[in-house]
Amino acid sequence: MLFAKKKRLIERVLLVEDEPLVAFDTEHFLGSEGFAVVATIDSVADALQVIAGDTAIDLVLVDVDLADGSGVEVARGARARGVQVLFVTGNCPGEARKLAAGCLAKPYPQRDLLAAIEGIEAVMRGRKPGKLPGSFSLFLDAV
């Protein structure tokens, strides 16, 4: 098949977001784009529990400012398990380059989230990513 879609490297996403409307919109958008949202979590403690479990996760989308702590802790747990991390936040943390594949600034249009994920996936495949949104920083060393 000449025009068959490539199998995604990122299929299963853990969403860590404590703003209910943002979480709801992101979950439904990702589902409509063919991603499987393995869980939508609103706390550091619950996210770390899911990451430590048996659930297969390809990417963690995590906000930095969560009600019970910092998404940086979630990123550390995910990276320790070899899972890619994308910070989605209004304030990208200083240590993001060491912990995450990238940082997408809030608020963002849904197409920018998809482009950010595609950029991370391109680097995972060893390819140069296409045009990236201005609100997205890709950290090539962390991918």
Q: What is the pLDDT of residues 94-103, one digit of tens each?
A: 888 889 999 9
Q: What backbone torsions phi and psi does residue 96 show, to the nearest 5 degrees?
A: -55, -40
Residue 141: per-residue pLDDT: 66
Q: Contact, 103 vs 137, CB < 8 A?
A: yes
User: Considering the entire predicted model, what is its pTM?
Assistant: 0.91
Task: Name residue 18's amino acid.
Answer: D
98: CB partners within 8 A, 6+ apart:
142
Tell me the domains of the chain and their CATH numbers.
Answer: 12-142 (3.40.50.2300)
Cα 84 to Cα 111: distance, rounded to the nearest angstrom:
20
**Can you list the pairs that 42-45 forms with residues at least 24 positions away whose Cβ atoms lie under 8 Å?**
42/16, 42/17, 42/18, 42/66, 42/67, 43/18, 43/67, 43/68, 43/69, 44/16, 44/68, 44/69, 44/70, 44/71, 44/73, 44/74, 45/69
Could you tell me the pLDDT band of residue 4, with boundaries at 50, 70 and 90? low
pLDDT score at 70: 93
Question: Is pLDDT at 142 greater than 80 in this prediction?
Answer: no
pLDDT-derived band at 40 (thresholds 50, 70, 90) equals very high
For residue 94, the number of C-alpha atoms closer than 13 Å in the C-beta half-sphere is 0
Across the chain, mean pLDDT equals 91
| pLDDT class of 90 with cuts at 50, 70, 90 | confident
